[in-house]
Amino acid sequence: MGICDHRTIIVTGSGSGLGRQYALALAAEGANVVVNDIRQEMADAVVAEIAAAGGKAVAACADITSMSGADAIIAAGIEAFGDVHGVVNNAGIVRDRMFASLSEDDWDLVIKVHLKGHFCIASRLVQRWREQSKAGQKVDARIVNTSSGAGLQGSIGQSNYAAAKGGIASLTLVQAAELARYGITANALVPAARTGMTEGPFGAMMKKPEDGSFDHYDPANVAPLVVWLCSPLSAQVSGKVFEVEGGKVSIASGWKTGPVRDKKARWQPAELTDVVAALIAESPPAQKVYGA
C-alpha cells in the first residue's frame, strides 16, 4: 500500500530530471502516472521503467502550452485509469541572456512554456473537478506548481525565467484561494537539484560527490515532498511555496506590507526622499538576487 494508491497524477516534463524522479516516486507509492514529455522516446522509457518496477503509467506527449494538448494529456489519463486527481506542473526551459540582450523570442518562449504551460492543464482539470464537485462528488484534487529561487529573489541573466517563475508563485496563491471550495489544493515547489537546466551555470557546484556521501543535489531528494503533496495526507495544506534542497524543506515567506508612513494628505514629491529612506532603513533587507 502506498500513500497515493488509486490516484492518477499527470507529471509534465517527466522524461528526465526532476520530472522523471517525481514519476518514479509517485508510481512507487501507488499512483497511476501520466508521463508527459515532448520527447516520445524519453516518456516511453519512463513508462517502461515504472512498469518494470510493478507500477502503472501511460505516456502522453501532447503540447502543454495549448488547450488541445492539455485535453489530449488529460484524456490519456482518463482512458487509461478512469480519472485524473492531480497535476505536477514541472516542464520548463531556459533562454538565459542579460536583459539588455534578451530577444522577443527569448522572452515569449520562456513565458509560454512556464506560465501558459502551467495554465492549460490546470485550467482544464479545474473545470472537470468543479463539475464533479457541483454534481455532489467528493473531490480531493491537487495542483503542484514549480517556481524557482529565481522567481522569489531574481537571478542575473534570467529576467524572462524569473518573471515566469515569480508569476507562477503568485498564480499558486490565487488558485489556492479560489479553488478550496471545490476540494482542490494548490502549492508550489522551489527545488534546488541537478537537472539539464542547471548543468551550465551550476554544473560544478551540483555535481555528484565521488566519495559516496549524501548527494545533496540529487533530484530524487525533491520527489518525496511531491508525492506527499499529491496524496490525501496533504488535503489541509494549500497556498504554500515549498523550498526543497537536499534534506532541507522550508516554506517561503512571501511579500508582506512593511513599515508605513501616513501623512493623511497628499505627499509633495520632494518630501518623499526622507520618507523612503526611513522606510528602507526600517524594512528587513531582501535576499540578494542570484548572481549579484
| Pick from 4, 1, 29, 33: nearest CA to 19 | 33
* pLDDT for res 167: 97
Taking CA atoms, 17 is separated from 121, 206, 214, 264, in Å, by 21, 13, 18, 54
The Cβ of residue 121 has, within 10 Å, a number of other Cβ atoms equal to: 28
Q: Are 194 and 207 in contact (CB under 8 A)?
A: yes
Query: Can you give the pLDDT at residue 106?
Result: 97
User: Nearest Cα to 277, choosing from 264, 288, 261, 262?
Assistant: 261
**pLDDT value for 64:** 98
- 254, three cell numbers: 512571501
What pLDDT was estimated at residue 213?
A: 76
Query: Cα dihedral sign for 42, 45, 50, 53?
Result: negative
Cα dihedral sign, 184-59-119-128 = negative
d(CA 225, CA 219): 12
Cβ pair 77, 129 in contact under 8 A = no
Of the candidates 22, 161, 217, 290, the residue annotated as catalytic is 161
Q: Is 165 a catalytic residue?
A: yes
Specify whether 14 is catalytic: no
* Distance linking the first and last C-alpha atoms of the chain: 47
Residue in 148, 159, 231, 238 annotated catalytic: 148
Q: How many CA atoms lie less than 13 Å away from 251 in the CB half-sphere?
A: 5
Residue 47 pLDDT: 98
Cell numbers standing for residue 99: 536583459
Taking the whole predicted model, whether its pTM rises above 0.85 is answered as yes
* Domains of the chain with CATH codes: 8-251 (3.40.50.720)
pLDDT (0 to 100) of residue 202? 58
Give the pLDDT of residue 199. Answer: 59
Task: Give which of 81, 93, 72, 95 is closest to 50, Cα–Cα.
Answer: 81
- DSSP state at residue 153: H
- Which of the residues 14, 22, 165, 234 is marked catalytic? 165
- Kindly give the parts of the chain with pLDDT less than 50: none
Task: Give yes or no: 161 in active site.
Answer: yes
